[in-house]
Chains A and B, each alone.
Chain A
Amino acid sequence: MNRIGIPLRVGLVLVSLIWLVPYAWMVVTSVKTLPEIVAAPTAPLPAGLELGAYREVFESMPVARYFWNTTLVALGIAALQIALAVPAGYALAKLEFKGRALAFGLVLATLLVPAQVRFVPVFTLLADVGLTNTLSALILPFGVSALGTFLVRQALLSLPDSILEAARIDGASELRIVYSILPPLLVPTLVSLFLFSFVFHWNDYFWPLVMTTDDSVRTLPLGVALLREQGTGVRWHIVMAGNVLLSAPVLALFALAQKQLLNAVAASTS
């Protein structure tokens, strides 16, 4: 089983190419010029390294601001989710109180409600209090992660009570237990939760699309998708240059934290 034969090697390479060629094509297209694409759209190599498309992307949209907004929203959501999931997961895993099963059931039930089911009423709610077109409208509706709360609870179930009892005897308040004793014990779970949430919301298109109309709060996925809708005829070298800017940070993060991201996905099964 461990020896890899030649046919399998070839197969693995071909399969990898199905996933890698599209990225390569994106990069190749982004360094071509419009006349080049019109003349020979499928020429495998560009005539030269032309960065005009990138210049046009930076001229047609405030890339830095979009990038900053996107990062801020994704960081805000991930931080809020962790800050709320630890105390909630602790109460659900370790404390005995009336209504615990009900609260846990409620958290699990909300896992089933997709964003597309709740955006209409949430939009009207946020419009009523004047919060549409703000970064809050992008962060607050995702403040609690049902999955995150569930994962923290599961991780804490296997933690012996004696650790917490000892902390209490030493005079630690519940606040101290939640925010300074538990986090170091939960590092793998919290790292997974952070990466999962950060990447998901960094990539999100739907929610920013429906909640914002103002350039000042737009996010990068929205801006890049708009590149295709601008002007007459699609200028693919520009769209692909935008796409490189959009996907490169996530792919870089993936390269750095591959193991943790894979764990984050596998953890959701348990």
Chain B
Amino acid sequence: MRPARRTDPLWLLGPSLLFLFVFVVYPLGHALRLSLYDWDLLTPERYVGLENYRALFESGDFCTILQSTLSVSLTAVAFSMLIGLALALAVNRPGRLAAFARTSIFSAYVVSWVSVALLWLWLLDADAGLVSAFGRALGFERAGLLASPHTAPFAIAGVVVWKIAGYSMVLFLSGLQSIPTSVLEAAALDGAGAWQRLRRVVLPLLGPTSAFVGTTSLILTFQAFDVVRIMTQGGPVRSTTVFVYSIYEQMFVGLRVGRASAEALVFFAVLLVLTGLELVFHQRRQAL
């Protein structure tokens, strides 16, 4: 439609664009500038060129942080998708029991990350936690999953899976429900068993859904700050110092505004590259 007056689009869209400019576009530019300075919020800032970036990469911090981030994120994305898909297949049926299971599982996605983190910190408590006691009963030794650098990232990932499996379940469920029953019936008439229908018909048709779930879960897990801050504070031995936690630490513990900005921009670049790769991967799989 033609606008009633030529200025209409301006005032209709203006406020939104102004907000986006002030709180998203300008901050990105400003972060770029800040990343070239050494500044502690108190004394005057000092131009240092690319020093903040050099320090991040040469100290090996980048590799450590990337490794922690990927350990947590990729584990959480892979398992939450697999479990979400399995749950979707299990609860995709009428009846009160299936509805009850759907509600229970999805509730974890609705409560806060803080609640979930505190809850699991207590459940995983090495001495008094319910899960640890359960582990001991099964014959595992006194397991402080959060106390070892080898297990902590995966314990965090496990908690993230518990929190977001309901999210991928709901999306896979709506994907499953958009598959016409006629397609499945046709496959059954052609003699395809349940497993074959799943592998040859259902999974390929869920392609676009899994691309969406994968991408959004990746973005979601890359931002998992609350669980880390509450459960491990980046430890032990920095094994759970993911990007978002490191940025926070540089800014408010180290008062290194420039370094924090540099890390934020590098984090953003990594996130964009991974999101892009994931989309390309899904597109190529679709094309095959």
Contacts and interface: CB of A to CB of B under 8 A. Distances in A.
A110 interface: yes
A161 B121 CA distance: 54
A94 B1 contact: yes
Contacts of B25: 106, 110
Given A116-B247, A240-B122, A250-B112, A258 B95 contact: no
Contact of B97 (A13, A18, A96, A210): A13
B123 A22 contact: yes
Given A88-B16, A121-B31, A121-B34, A11 B24 contact: no
Interface string A97-139: 1001001001100101111111111111101000000000000
Interface string A23-48: 10110010000000100011000000
**Residue with the greatest number of chain A CB neighbours at <10 A, chosen from B24, B90, B101, B229:** B24
Contact of A25 (B16, B130, B226): B130
Contact of A118 (B11, B24, B112, B170): B24
**Residue with the greatest number of chain A CB neighbours at <10 A, chosen from B118, B120, B123, B264:** B118
Given A4-B95, A22-B120, A96-B1, A246 B114 contact: yes
B106 to A, nearest CB: 7
A224 B118 contact: yes
B288 interface: no
A140 B267 CA distance: 24
A102 B177 CA distance: 35
Taking chain B's interface residues, is the majority helix, strand, or loop, or is none over half, making it mixed? helix
Interface stretch (B59-67, B70-78, B147-155, B268-276): B268-276
Contact of A95 (B9, B30, B129, B225): B9
Interface of A: 1-2, 4, 8-9, 11-13, 15-16, 18-23, 25-26, 29, 37, 41-42, 84-85, 87-88, 90-92, 94-97, 100, 103, 106-107, 110, 112-125, 127, 140-144, 146, 149, 161, 164-165, 168, 174, 178, 199, 202-206, 209-210, 221, 224-225, 228, 236, 239-240, 242-243, 246-247, 250-251, 253-254, 258, 261-262, 265-266, 268-269
Interface of B: 1-6, 8-9, 11-13, 15-17, 19-20, 22-28, 30-31, 34, 41, 87, 90-91, 93-95, 97-98, 100-101, 103-115, 117-123, 125, 127-130, 133, 162, 166-167, 170-171, 174, 209, 212, 216, 219, 222-223, 225-226, 229-230, 243-244, 247-248, 251-252, 257, 260-261, 264-265, 267-268, 271-272, 275
